[in-house]
Structure 1
Amino acid sequence: MRIHFIAIGGAVMHNLAISLAEQGHQVSGSDDQIVEPSKSRLKKAKLLPAQLGWFPANITEDIDAVILGMHAEAGNPELIRAQELKIKIYSFPEFIYEQSVNKTRVVIAGTYGKTTIMSMIMHVLRKLGKDFDYLVGAQLEGFDALVKLTAHNKIILLEGDEYYASPIDHQSKFHLFHPNIALISGVEWNESRSNISREEYFKQFETFIDTIVKKGTLIYNKDNTNLREIVEETSDCKINRHGYRLPEYSINKGVTYLHLGEERIPLQVFGKLNLSNIAGAYTVCEWLGVKRAEFYDAMKDFKSSIRYLEFVASHHECVVYQDFNYSAYKLQTSVHAVKEQFPAKALVTILELNPYDILDNNFLNQYRSSMDESDYAAVVVNREAIKEKNILLSNLEMEIKQVFNHKNFNFLTDVPSLENYLKSFNPLEVNFLFMISPNHNSINVVGLVEKLFKNY
């Protein structure tokens, strides 16, 4: 096939383009902005556009398909030309479904935990020597691309989300995959981060369940109240339903052990969210024919491949972890996980907040008392990341302190002040947890920790 990508520079788009070119398809693409690592990877694959911009002349009658990325707009001149020529236009989830129609499609969905569960399943299948295709939302350790799409593999693992499929297709992406096996890790509506109502958000997951193929399987987290209600609303679907719960576990000398009858499985990850994700990943693998002993043996050396309670460093008995901060719920669960794992050590939690989010009272209020379980708490709002210099952070300091209501609280507005704050602790006496903003990450945690440990 001859395939043209409009907005080829996107994370998934450029990975898909490279994968298709490696299969022998004739691939071209365009974009008005391409940044690293997309630029280098496209250049190496000889797919980097010669010139940035949108050019209708790129769209010719001999093109079999156009794949449209979200970075483009509905009025994109190349898109308009493709529509004039009546060329088939796909969103990337629509295209991937068409290419995997004869495969077993496993779709992992949910407000939290999608990528972690994907990485667990991929880790186990790889260790067992089972080949598979995949689409994942973040770079995972041991996998050199976000997309693998072949003609021969019988299984494809797909990370499914509820966002628009393309600028001209406002269906949710995960509605287009029609899974044989679907997992939902949990459903939480966040008012400050959602542009739709709670009812509409939940409805997207009901519709997702409706898209599971007849006699397919839904695997779902029975500990999540919202999800249980959604599953009950779809009781008419002719599918298998398999719920899972947080497994039993214990912690001994900083190691979490999963209980399997009398057996204790040592893990390199910890926290209730990770343990719940393991239960979900096992259930998927079980439906794919993986034996229980094989799964848990493979999980013994699994390390979080993305920044969910990611180990950064240790020095003597001090440990440092970092995590992405998506919500107050995520913050609370991560703080709890570290305190539960290391109860005898004081915890210092550093939370980075997007400087524009804190101007929204609804956003701030959800964080009320959210770091109570941490012994020391600091919020960093980096003024260097603020383009509108007239925003006065000093006016917000009192409000932020009132929201967090923590007895050992500090409000910091730049990296040097954060460095000084960290130096006020003896790292031999505390543990550190950095909760980093996924969209406005201005903190080099590794560099900070190296400086902190240098003199100890």
Structure 2
Amino acid sequence: MKTHFIAIGGSAMHNLAIALKDKGYQVTGSDDAIFEPSKSRLEKKGILPEEMGWFPEKITSDIDAVILGMHAHQDNPELAKAKELGLKIYSYPEFLYEQSKNKTRVVIAGSHGKTTITSMILHVLNFHQKDVDFMVGAQLEGFDCMVKLTKDNDFMVLEGDEYLSSPIDLRSKFLLYQPNIALMSGIAWDHINVFKTFDDYIEQFRKFVESITPGGILVYNEEDAEVVKVVEAAENYFRKIPYKTPEYEIMNGKVHLKTEMGDVPLSVFGAHNLLNLEGARHICHTLGIMDEDFYEAIMSFKGASKRLEKVEREDKGILYKDFAHAPSKVKAVVKAFCEQFKNEKKYGFLELHTYSSLNPVFLEQYDHAMDGLDEAIVFYSEDALKIKRMEPISPDLINEKFKKENLKVFTNAKELHAYWNTLDKTQGVYMMMSSGNFGGLDLTK
């Protein structure tokens, strides 16, 4: 099969391209910019475009599938050529469904926790040498590529994202998967640039539940009121399995899960991660993994990339980084961090980086998000606001919305870096929360 990727360099797209190459497909692609690690990984597989840009001449009538990335625009010249030739154009999720429509599809959805839950499931299955197809949005230890597609596997585990499918398909990605088994971890307004109201956002999850195949299974977080409302309002037929935070305690700085089989020591921490773990346990149970085997495997799970990930520093200081940027994620991470390090001085850095987080209307959601930290720092780039063509935000507004006493606000990367350099990282503990990189800050030094 001959496939062509428009915007091959994306974190999700390049993994799919590599998976198809490994499956034996003929793969080509284009992009206007490709960064690491996508660039090196595509080059290693021999599918890195020779030059950057869009080339309509690459689109030929013998291509079986054109896969369109979200990074491309509606007026993309390669897309125009594909339409002119009448080629089949897929969005990323649409193509994944085509690859898995004869398999049992397990889809993990939710505003927060979906990457971690998917990662936990794959870790457990991999530990017990249970082979499945999969797609997950973060790099995992022990996995070379975060998309796997085979002819023979019976199951496919998919991280279900509510964001848009492609520039020409404005449905939420997870609506295309039609799960046989699904999980919903939580609902908290996100992607405000796309979903203008909270009800618009919730509607995507209502539709997701409707898309579960008849007689399927939904594992859901019964501690989330919005999730419960959506589940209880559903009229289609499926089995409902609720889950909640399991009992645990922290002993000598390590989290121990309380189970019928005794205490299970974990390598992760935070009540939200234990809630994620409980959801993963239920999903694994539907896939034939008994609890004893689940606990045996989960003890060695160290977390997904950039999810409460410990950074190894030259000075041995204690520092973690997390992808947290949406308010619900920030609150959960800060709560976990403060619980884990009760007796240490706690520094928390948050970069407002996404369209949603930089929207003055959305800032209301961050109230008290950084409570519990001894030192709280918020950074956003005035230059980034200009690039995104957004209105300026004053530091006073940040202080007003966060409602955190003595909050430090930086709008210039150089000033942030200068402050960072005044801190002795061997004193206290540090949590860095961002989907960006704090203006190029090196967290290892």
Please confirm whether the aligned pair reaches a TM-score higher than 0.5, indicating the same fold: yes
In 1, Cα distance between equivalents of 2:405 and 2:237: 54
Q: Unpaired runs of 5+ in structure 1? A: 451-456
1:152–1:340 CA distance, 2 compared to 1 (3 A) = same
Q: How does 1:390-401 map to 2 (within 5 A)?
A: 396-401=394-399
1:377 is aligned to: 376
Alignment of 1:55-454 (within 5 A): 55-190=55-190, 192=192, 194-234=194-234, 236-261=235-260, 263-313=262-312, 319-354=318-353, 360-382=359-381, 396-414=394-412, 417-418=415-416, 421=419, 430-436=428-434, 438-439=435-436, 441-444=438-441, 446-447=443-444, 450=445
Q: Is the 8 A contact 2:417 2:441 kept in 1?
A: no
* Contact preservation (8 Å) 1:412, 1:418: yes
Classify 1:358/1:287 alpha carbon distance in 2 versus 1 (closer, same or farther; 3 Å).
closer
Deviation at 1:443, TM superposition (A): 4.9
Distance 1:256 1:15 in 2: 33
Q: Is the 8 A contact 1:335 1:373 kept in 2?
A: yes
Change (3 A) 1:379 1:165: closer
- CA offsets per residue over residues 322-377 of structure 1, 9 Å max, x none? 22232233222222212212222232222223398786432333323332211222
Counterpart for residue 33 of structure 2:
33
Deviations 1:62-108 (A, max 9, x none): 22222222222233332233223322221121121111122121111
1:413 offset after TM fit, Å?
A: 4.5
* Kept in 1: contact 2:5–2:68 (CA 8 A): yes
2:254–2:267 CA contact under 8 A, matched in 1: yes
Report the AA paired with residue 233 of structure 1. A
Amino acid at match of 1:60: T
- In the alignment, the residues of structure 2 paired with residue 40 and residue 15 of structure 1 have an alpha-carbon distance, to the nearest angstrom, of 12
- Judge which range, 74-83 or 307-316, deviates more: 307-316
DSSP 3-state at the match of 1:361: coil
Deviations 1:140-163 (A, max 9, x none): 222111211111222111111112
Contact persistence 1:192–1:362 (CA under 8 A): no
Moved more, 94-103 or 348-357: 348-357
Distance across 1 between alignment mates of 2:209 and 2:200: 15
Counterpart residue type for residue 91 of structure 2: S
Identity %: 45
Question: Is 2:325–2:351's contact at 8 Å kept on the other side of the alignment?
Answer: no
Q: In the TM superposition, what is the alpha-carbon distance from 1:26 to its structure 2 partner? A: 2.0
TM-score with structure 2 setting the length: 0.90
**Aligned-residue offset at 1:30:** 2.3
Stretches of structure 2 that go unaligned for 5 or more consecutive residues are: none
**Distance in structure 2 (CA, Å) of the matches to 1:427 and 1:53:** 43
Change (3 A) 1:61 1:392: closer
